[in-house]
Structure 1
Amino acid sequence: MVIDEVKTLDAKLCTRVRKFISLNLNKITSYLSQNLQYGLSVQCTSSQGVSDDSKVHFSPMFDIWFAEEAHAHDAPITPEHMNHARLCVALVSVCGNAMRDVLRTQVSAPHTDIYQAILAEKGKLTGRSGRPLLNPNQINVVFPDPQGMKTGTLDQFDLSLLHILIRNISAVQAPFITGWGNDPHDQPRDTSLGASVERIRSFKNHITGHSADGKVSRQDLEDYWVKIEAVIHDIEKVIGGQMCSQELERQKRQVISVYEAC
């Protein structure tokens, strides 16, 4: 399965072997029992045993990284689908963590703890009409107990919820030119936290909310990646740290390696 003296794996050949094995295992299990299941894993080369602890298991989502399957006539996953999935991962993981860092560092004084700030500023989460700004699901995430006397775990807050909290209870100012709720992509010189938060909201809407087919071309993937990198750097310039930019760079290297394997 290697293609040169340095033992570089032939990705397409490996994928065909794995697909052949999976196809036949599916046939066998369907013949024997509907309740019979199996899992895919690889043996750790550093381990001498064959126990479960020495194996690395594949999750179902791992299939989207096998580029050769995208070229199969019967495969539902295309390279454009994989590009969309990669952007979604970057949004949820990297941009989500960046937004959490913004919320943590920009809560209004004198509340130094984000959870205390959310409880203290609970009244600001009600609109002018008296209706709550949060939907029922978001309320259950932010205030998991019926009395609303404690908040949920910050890691459970998604991008939409983080945007609402940053906009309403933090010290982050609205983008100077466009204001809240508008895409500031036409204002490249606005590198404020508010503009960065709005850009992430816009990325989320265009990538996940306004996608009709869940596909992103390679050129659009590269364009989005440049934009996301710029936003992450803008945020880190204000609040400090490099964890998000380092994670984004790691994901970028993974994307490049997959394309090179194709």
Structure 2
Amino acid sequence: MTTRRGLFVAPFDALADPRVVGNLAAAAEEAGWDGFFVWDHLQYGARVAAVADPWTCCAAVALRTERLVLGPMVTPLARRRPQVLARQAASLAVLSGGRFVLGLGLGDDWVGEFSAFGDEPDPQRRGRMLDEGLEVLTGLLAGERVDHDGEHYVARDVRFRPAPSVPIWLAGRFGNRAPVRRAARQNGFFVIGLDGPDDLDAVTSGLAEHDPPPGFEVVVDLRPEQDVAPWLDRGASWVLTRIGPYDLDLDEARRVIDAGP
């Protein structure tokens, strides 16, 4: 299995400008990277002052590149309306010529990402919202007729077009079983919090219990200073290099990107 290399970029502070993000993505494509994924946050604590909208950033990346896989990594579905998200994802899939990946997850309220705005702070309830929201979202993205009246979401006898292919990667922390179950029903698993490459054995064996579909992606991210070599050919199909979240410097980001994968 060939491991693809991507960038995992926080659009914060010095990078909190979709034009800058688009420029970095163009440089990344030139340098030979395979993917460019942006964090989706509303705020990120006292050390981060400025935050850019990831969807606008994704549009900029799509327009400035021709080959890179791109997407938000990851969007907390519990603070979104699945029908609006479906329209946005489909449009970005069309804009990018089929290169868009939708990263989804539970999200975390450690800096009031949910509670500060009156969104659901309880992770168990957000988990139920994620499961139900995925049912609505995947139906709409597939162009199916959706008739859903649930605890959290309603979609009464609707069908969306266009319906381009939109792979979904579910994120989850290593060691938690629910994210593995959710991810195996979709197209990929973005694993957060691995201690080392040996942990990938547990990830792949856990996924195998749920029979993921062909072409399923296992995605990990590393800091720029980490040695990539031990992670290659260990079961991860994508290894991302993280840029951010703190003390971001545009020149340093360019240095990492220009060095290539």
Shared fold, TM over 0.5: no
Q: Which has the larger radius of gyration?
A: 1
Q: TM-score, structure 1 length as denominator?
A: 0.24
Whose strand fraction is larger, Structure 1's or Structure 2's?
Answer: 2
Higher helix share: 1
